[in-house]
Amino acid sequence: MEPSNSREYVTVHHRLGVGSGDRLLDVACGAGLAVELARARGATCSGIDASQRLVAVARDRSPDADLRVGDMHALPWQDAAFDVVTSFRGIWGTTEPAVGEVHRVLAPGGRIGITVWGHIRASSGGWALAPFGLASPVKREHQAAMVTLGRQGAGEELLARYGFVDIERVEVPFAFEFADAATFARALASSGPAYEAIQDVGEAAFLQAATDQAREHLREGLPVRAEIAVVGYLARKPRRRRPTTT
């Protein structure tokens, strides 16, 4: 699943000007490809994710990074420890207080860049996420609450509420790309919302639904490709005010 996301990582790192000298934290770092790419740009990297198994992959990829298993609502770093914090579809409408933690661990003047799903149904590749709809109505309601930050004004309001300035909404390229329908289905099944759907309908039914969706969108001689709207929010923690002289 993850290599498809690299368009998103590269875009946000570029827009934030990530480079050598930056102390960067990736929140909800998953298996750590974004951390690996930030290291390639010269940043000193840290990351946190709730999944022990994903953090093990991230550590394997970036042995010199500070990668921890933990909760984004209680970041285990001191105040002002970072110059840049990123989170790729890691902070959701259901985890808004994590933005307060990001603000705390950023140094004055530090930059934040987060991405969230945009308007999925209006995306040409929105069909790719349709199998998540196999989850029970209660889980679907929770999924809907998760994706609210993509709405116009929602991310801007959230970042402003936690004290960020120079807030900018940017379009971020995102496309799933797989060799064939079965590979797409296997990849989709590895994601969190798929896990929820699989609990309700079983793995075989989920894989079948995803394979059928992808087959409908096959194009001769080309990979399965689904472009989905992703919104990026970039902002900055204000610099410390100079003490006024009298």
Ligand X SMILES: C[S@@+](CC[C@H](N)C(=O)[O-])C[C@H]1O[C@@H](n2cnc3c(N)ncnc32)[C@H](O)[C@@H]1O
Residues forming contacts to ligand X in the complex (CB under 6 A) are: 2, 5, 28-30, 34, 48-51, 54, 71-73, 88-90
Using the minimum distance from each CB to ligand X, give the nearer residue, 73 or 240.
73
Question: Which residue of this chain has its Cβ atom nearest to ligand X in the complex?
Answer: 30
Using the minimum distance from each CB to ligand X, give the nearer residue, 71 or 157.
71
CB of 5 to ligand X, least distance (A): 5
Using the minimum distance from each CB to ligand X, give the nearer residue, 49 or 196.
49
- The closest of 226, 209, 236, 212 to 113, measured between CA atoms, is 236
CB of 92 to ligand X, least distance (A): 8
CB of 67 to ligand X, least distance (A): 12
Residues in contact with 118: Cβ distance below 8 Å, sequence separation at least 6, in sequence order:
150, 171, 228, 229, 230, 231
**Which one-letter amino acid corresponds to residue 98?**
A
Burial status of residue 243 (CB atoms within 10 A of its CB: 0-12, 13-18, 19 or more): exposed
> What three-state secondary structure class fits 136?
coil
Strand 23-27 relative to strand 44-49: parallel, antiparallel, unpaired?
parallel
CB of 51 to ligand X, least distance (A): 4
Using the minimum distance from each CB to ligand X, give the nearer residue, 110 or 113.
113
CB of 204 to ligand X, least distance (A): 24
CB of 50 to ligand X, least distance (A): 4
Separation of alpha carbons 246 and 244, rounded Å: 7
Using the minimum distance from each CB to ligand X, give the nearer residue, 70 or 109.
70
Separation of alpha carbons 244 and 161, rounded Å: 26
- The closest of 78, 88, 31 to 230, measured between CA atoms, is 88
Using the minimum distance from each CB to ligand X, give the nearer residue, 41 or 215.
41
- The closest of 209, 171, 175, 161 to 189, measured between CA atoms, is 209
